[in-house]
């Protein structure tokens, strides 16, 4: 639940694949006002289309942090990044990292941070004491995005839903559970990085007691049907004690990504299983809508698919990137 120093300079290192710069694109799309510009190494071929700013110039313009906007293979810190990170620290910028490797394991960064007083911030690592979940009912209202698989829009859906609720006049907060979400929100807990015993306890901390009509819109993680990450998903579901869930799905997938031997459940079955599991800590939980990542469908196919799903499930069906999620936000407030 740390507070990050905004605005950010987005560092893209030597990125050559757009998908490796997912964090940078997420920041650009969801909090452009918090972004000063981008900076990369000479070998980079991907750009976010933002103004190119050196670390020193960014600091002079009021930036608070250099944010690592790319995910290197393996999550380690490449040697080639270190001179740039040291320059940023020397200019007084914090370094904000979502890598598995803690920045403190690099002595050059520790020295530079000590020189300037800037901070090394590892958003994947919890910075506070965690405890097992209590299952105690909290005040306020909560909605959690859940998925048929990983990496199909749970964060974007939660961000869009928080904005749609605010636009409708509701009091709503986005609650981040992953590294990019935390960088966007400026706070949160990377739920997949906590000790297994404390998953639901961490989720409880993330959405504390609130006023009766306040909505926490909680970013989901993993999937209940994922052979690697279902434990994270279930602990987050129990600790979030959601009043409502929104199911996210990508119709181009029929098996779990990278696990071709594990078929996806039907949407109906997925909803049944999520609601059944969530009833443990909130017996009145309901599914209020379906968020589709329709990027592989043309307009005709999307219109047809959307209608078919809405008819089958009798729920609002939206794509946050294609028309928004107002219909789901309204169902939530109804």
Q: Does residue 151 touch a second copy according to CB under 8 A?
A: no
**Using CB under 8 A, which of 14, 140, 186, 231 touches a second copy?**
231
Tell me whether residue 191 or residue 292 sits nearer to a second copy (CB atom).
Answer: 191
Tell me whether residue 127 or residue 276 sits nearer to a second copy (CB atom).
Answer: 276
Bridge partners, 222 (sequence order): none
Measured distance CA(181)–CA(197) in Å, rounded: 23
Cα dist. 124→50, 75, 215 in Å?
A: 26, 11, 25
Q: Does residue 193 touch a second copy according to CB under 8 A?
A: yes
User: Going by DSSP bridges, is the β-strand pair 172-175/255-256 parallel, antiparallel, or unpaired?
Assistant: unpaired
Size of the site for a second copy (CB under 8 A): 37
Min CB(113)–a second copy separation in Å: 24
Q: Does residue 75 touch a second copy according to CB under 8 A?
A: no
Q: Does residue 144 touch a second copy according to CB under 8 A?
A: no
- Residue 298: name the closest of 253, 264, 252 by CA: 252
CA-based radius of gyration for the chain: 20
Q: Does residue 228 touch a second copy according to CB under 8 A?
A: yes
- Residues 46, 106, 232, CA angle at the centre, nearest 5°? 70
Q: Does residue 177 touch a second copy according to CB under 8 A?
A: no
Min CB(221)–a second copy separation in Å: 9
Min CB(109)–a second copy separation in Å: 22
Q: Does residue 201 touch a second copy according to CB under 8 A?
A: yes
Sign of CA dihedral 196, 198, 201, 203: negative
Measured distance CA(266)–CA(245) in Å, rounded: 16
The interface region with a second copy, picked from 25-33, 196-204, 297-305, 324-332 by CB under 8 A, is 196-204
SS3 328: helix
Using CB under 8 A, list all residues that contact a second copy: 132-135, 137, 191-197, 199-201, 225, 227-236, 238-239, 256, 259, 261-262, 273, 276-277, 280-281
């Amino acid at each position: 639940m740390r507070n990050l120093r905004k605005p950010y300079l987005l560092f893209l290192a030597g990125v050559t694949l757009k998908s490796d710069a997912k964090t940078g694109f997420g920041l650009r799309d969801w909090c452009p006002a918090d972004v000063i510009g981008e900076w990369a190494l000479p070998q980079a071929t991907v750009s976010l289309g933002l103004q190119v700013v050196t670390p020193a110039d960014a600091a002079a313009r009021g930036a608070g942090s250099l944010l690592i906007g790319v995910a290197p293979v393996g999550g380690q810190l490449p040697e080639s990044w270190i001179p740039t990170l040291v320059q940023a620290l020397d200019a007084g910028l914090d370094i904000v990292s979502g890598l598995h490797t803690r920045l403190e394991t690099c002595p050059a960064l520790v020295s530079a941070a000590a020189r300037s007083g800037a901070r090394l911030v590892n958003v994947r690592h919890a910075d506070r004491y965690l405890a097992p979940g209590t299952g105690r009912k909290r005040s306020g209202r909560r909605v959690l995005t859940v998925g048929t698989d990983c990496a199909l829009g749970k964060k974007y859906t939660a961000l869009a839903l928080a904005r749609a609720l605010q636009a409708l006049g509701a009091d709503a907060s986005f609650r981040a559970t992953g590294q990019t979400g935390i960088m966007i929100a400026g706070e949160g807990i990377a739920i997949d990085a906590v000790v297994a015993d404390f998953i639901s306890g961490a989720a409880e901390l993330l959405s504390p007691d609130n006023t009766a009509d306040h909505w926490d819109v909680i970013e989901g993680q993993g999937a209940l049907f994922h052979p690697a990450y279902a434990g994270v998903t279930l602990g987050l579901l129990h600790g979030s004690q959601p009043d409502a869930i929104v199911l996210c799905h990508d119709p181009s997938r029929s098996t779990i990504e990278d696990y071709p031997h594990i078929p996806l459940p039907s949407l109906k079955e997925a909803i049944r299983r999520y609601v059944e599991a969530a009833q443990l800590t909130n017996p009145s939980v309901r599914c209020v809508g379906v968020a589709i990542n329709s990027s592989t469908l043309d307009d005709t196919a999307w219109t047809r698919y959307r209608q078919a799903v809405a008819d089958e499930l009798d729920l609002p069906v939206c794509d946050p990137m294609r028309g928004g999620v107002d219909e789901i936000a309204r169902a939530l407030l109804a």
